[in-house]
A and B are shown apart, each in its own frame.
Chain A
Amino acid sequence: MIEFLSALDQILSITHLTYLIAGVLVGLVVGIIPGLGGIAGMSLLLPFLYGMEPSVGLGMLMGLVAVIPTGDTFTSVLMGIPGSSSSQATVMDGFPLAKKGQAARALSAAFLSSMIGGVVGAVVLSVFILVARPVVLAFSSAELFMLTLLGLSVVAALSGGNVYKGLAACGFGLLVGAIGGAPATGEFRFTLDIDYLYDGIPLVVVGLGIFALPEIISLLVKNSAIASSPNKLGHGLKQGFKDVFQNLPLVGKSSIFGSLIGAIPGLGGSVVDWMTYSFAINSSKDSSQFGKGDIRGVIAPESANNACASGSMIPTILFGVPGSGAAAVFLGGMLLLGIQPGVSMISTHLDLTYTIIWSLALANILGAIFCICFTRPISLLTYIKFSILTPIILTLILFAAYQATRSLGDFILLGVVATLGIMMKGANWPRPAFLIGFVLSSGAENYFFQSIQFYGYDWFLRPGVITIAALIIVGFVLPPILKRRKQKMKPEQLAQDKEQNSMTKTVSWTDWGIIAVMGGSATYALINIWDASTLTKAFPIIAITIVLFSIVMIVSKYIREKHTKVSSDLAMNLVYIVGFFFIAYGYYLFGFISTTFVFSLLFLRFLAKASYVKSTTIAIGLVIFLVTMGRVMNVDFPEGLFDPYLLSAIKTVI
């Protein structure tokens, strides 16, 4: 207790606060810029760490880690681009809200729930850290495997009434996630001898391709502002706060769940938002608005991801095993400060641990306050004609994708995934199902084999495993029962559901296209993997089976039941995708910064019909942004043919 209070006293000193705020500001910036996350922010701060007072350095790092899940909400809501991997679920309802002209509401609700989530996470951490060791150790590979299954089971809730489409998408995600080294043997799968694929496919690119780019393109096709309806009074900041207070139970549950998932190394932050999102769907009386702009779809993941960032400190501090990417870098920072993680952190260095916790709480509060200050001006962006924003957003997306592995492969993959994303969006296939399958693929496979190798086949008798299995079953059984009860109470709801059912009974050429892509890839994968060793091919074959089985079910449904043929008008979208490939290649070939300038200028002037002054200003602004990023953050861009000249010209000027 004494340590607890003296740590508070310590972080309220001027030095500490200054560094903490510095960390918070850096964290917000890297959170806001898509593609940069904790790792980029840490690289920025690490050079200052060596030789710093440990508690001050820790405060600064914590300031950064804590607010990344706060700042990343901006682009998720305003542009449909996940600001970092922990706010992908926020896009689902945050972006539709922005389209309704309620960006400010979505953002303020998100920031307030982020703050509450972060503080709850810090509280859980301070209580839990003293007893956490045995709890963390209780989660063996078997329980971790069951947790990934629990994560996968949320696909059902996100499938929007068409379970087989969800299953197929999820199975396909599992299969795509299996590209690269097999965890059980180290052999490589589906690499097609392309170097890029050996490491597996980066999550950042998949997230951008499956969500962001399809949204951007469909907005371009429409060419209106993001917000299609004008903002009504009372739908701004205050409304967002009200929404949070009305949903406090949801905030509390999501926060506690988030910090616990964060505390268990192995699942990671990119799933927790989806799990709480589906949890919000399942626990709400009327879930018809999810995906169309339900504020609860923003509140749940945003509470969870900040709490998760706090929770992921537990395994990092106690075991030196990071629970997330940002935590991994934090661990490096600890080592640079000369602090060794481990049991000593709750015995001899308890004061440092409490410094970390207080810094977390304080940083979350500060970060949310900063963000709320900027909410109103920034949310006005959604009223600008979209074609003006296009070059800015496209540059951001390409920038973010290139940070994944810094190769041309990132751009190509982005285009390929985006093509799939556009088709899935056009034909109403659940994109989150694909993403969740992808995210959990390696974990599921890894923990499955590990638990079999460690425990043989009686691992499913472990109490922890049985508990989680029960949870999964409850998750499947409970929502339909609740629904039925609800329908007894409201007959008009029944009519609505019927209407929805007839809505889902449509089929278009795009559906057949997706079926062809998934079926074809799965068949090819099956032939490709057939000769590999058992441990290498077992998991992909499970994924392939899921895909093929679901596809057979979907097709047979098409044959048995009458489906209305609808035309899906994707031709224009696909033209844009082809255009995207060319532009992306241009960015790579001619140099990122020069192409940004030329493309933005031409696009704004001739396609968006902006004035010369406006076009030039935006283009120059983008160049300044990129050059600054390159200088300050040590970020690399494809140099191409012209960038070296351009950069040396800029150097002589500045």
Chain B
Amino acid sequence: MSETTCFHCGDVCEEIIQIEEKSFCCFGCKTVYELFAENDLSCYYDLQNSPGAIPKEIQGKYDFLTQQNIIDKLLEFNDDGKQIVTLYIPHIHCSSCIWILENLHKLNAEITASQVNFGKKTVRVTYNSTNFSLKEAVLLLSKIGYEPYISLEDYSTGKTNINRTLIYKLGIAGFAFGNVMFLSFPEYFQVSGFWIEQYKVVFRWLMFAFSLPVVFYAAQDYFISAYKGLRAKLLNIDVPIALGILVLFLRSSVEIIFDLGSGFFDSLTGLVFFLLLGKFFQQKTYTFLSFERDYKSYFPIAVTKILKGKETPIQVYDIKKGDRLLIRNEELIPVDGILMNGNAAIDYSFVTGESETVQKQSGDNLFAGGKQTSGIIEIEAIKSVEQSYLTQLWSNDVFEKNKEEGFTTLTNAISKHFTITVLSIAIIATTFWLFFDASKAMNVFTAVLIIACPCAIALAAPFTFGNLLRIFGKLKFYVKNASVLEQLASINTIIFDKTGTITSNKKSTANYEGEQLTTEELVLLKSTLRGSNHPLSRTLYNILDAQNIVTLDHFEEHVGKGMTARYDNNNIKVGAATFVGHQEDKKVLNTTVHISANNSYKGKYTFYNKYRKGVSKLFNNLKKNFDLAILSGDNEGERENLKKLLPAKTKLIFNQKPNDKLEYIHYHQKEGAKVLMVGDGLNDAGALAQSNVGIALSENVNVFSPACDAILDASKFNQLDAFINASQAAIKIIKWSFVLSFIYNSIGLYFAITGQLAPVIAAILMPLSSISIVVFTTLCTTVLGKKLNR
């Protein structure tokens, strides 16, 4: 059977809707297509095949956008009938998306301009606010399948300023470096002569002028960091760098003031330029990913409050104890509350990692972070947002802690010895010259400090890790920063979450036990399941082989129990054991769905987690070098299954609450373990923050993952060991670069100690060492990346 895919969204069509020889999976997709075709925008489909998304049902969801205080927080600009708003749209993924979103003005004339930032997945819309509103803009976007994501985070952060200082500094250093280089050439090439004697003063003072912004602006971070390091009694890598820059500048200034020589301004500006280049290279950011997410990015910005029978949207922070709130289908419960009305089926997977929905009766307690999955409910708030169970997890100290502090990087570890060695060499050499030829002593002292400036050492790590970050990024492993890679290389314990991490979120398998069902019964079962929106029904419906679908004569769903259906005098009951009239087996912890037909019990479907591809192989690869453990929020139903799958010494721990996971990791860290935590949900957020390296696994990196150090695409999960090995290899590369740079330093020191360091030697040696380190590390990491690709 050939499958027809939707022209708009690319999904497989179950029922085909055809117009103009194009097929669509649903009326939503068809409507979007018609809308685009009417407005001469069908080019959308030429740029990329089926680029669209099915527009979702959004009735009433954006009513809160009529509230002035919320609008004010979201708008970037609001004046004179013109408003500008930047909206985050997760669906942006291809060039068609850019094209259609930048042609919004053709769909509605009130929109004057729209600009997409592909990296950040945002669109900045400018519109006429006299005839148009923010709500209408959001509705228009939702209507064409580009639903913006507006969360509590947008409310609290406000407008963030982009930090561009590094680009400015790099620009200034590069500008000065180039000019100083040219200005110093005359003296290098014409050492004596009437011409140079006449003009060298001009050249020198121009170079001095160019170096001023470099020393006092571009290099200021190194001085600040060195000062902070010294105050904390740490000799970090910035101490010798700052010392080198300072000595270079002072000696050069003294030389030109007293007409002793041309100074080292070219080396000075070159040094700062290369160092900043390293910083810039290391600063690979994935603008569309966020590693700092807390509950705020998951929570809605507003919720519907019921006051005297009237529905009004209110801001989530304004919820007070005792407020009546309306939660629609698929909405998140923002506060702890009591269920007052309606059928609650809450998906707590964010909070506990438990994959199944929980049925609640009127009067039961509901916790914040749960997602309502069946219809509309009414709750009464019993706490405010900040005091809710889930949000309290974020008050734990681990979220305040900066992981980079307290971790000594390889570079800083080396720099401690390096600084002491260089200072002693400088002092010994100076003392020697004081007795031998005192006029040269100061010269030698400064020369040693200049030539020993650890530019190459400081560049080795940024370029190695920076390049590796990019390689990993291409392989869908997104690492927050270079320091994380270094920590990843040092771990010895790996802890996995179960649900959603080693199991797949969407797929599960089911086994049937009991009397064989007849074809007729199977048809009836599948048709019955089709009518239900319960997650288990949906799963089972998808597992069952394609059968004919019949229109049922009778169908009734009993919430929390199951459903009954009738067709052609055949009755069927699907649901919990007691509902279909069967004795429940208390020992079985797995999820089951029981079936009875024509009042006789037939059998049950037992659901099992489906593990990700390659889990077993991955664990076997890892077990040689790491301690492995699984921490699950689920019950022990899968223990036997896991035991079969995983190496024998893997620890399996079940029924772990978010805080238990955090404590477990904390305990092992105290025992000296360096822990890598791999998790996926908000329930792992504490553990991810506590661990040395927290990796969040994500089926779709555009959707949200909790605060972490790295995000790994689920499809690459089985390559985790390769990533760890690569980061360990990177450490080796850095160590080799250190050896290389020590060789350069020794050559330079020979010139310095013997008192023959001419500016031209420094000007050749310093860039040469920096560039060769950059080339060496880049080549090595590229080779490493090639190996990973295989």
* Mutual binders A and B: no
Write the residues of chain A forming the contact surface with B, with a CB cutoff of 8 angstroms. none
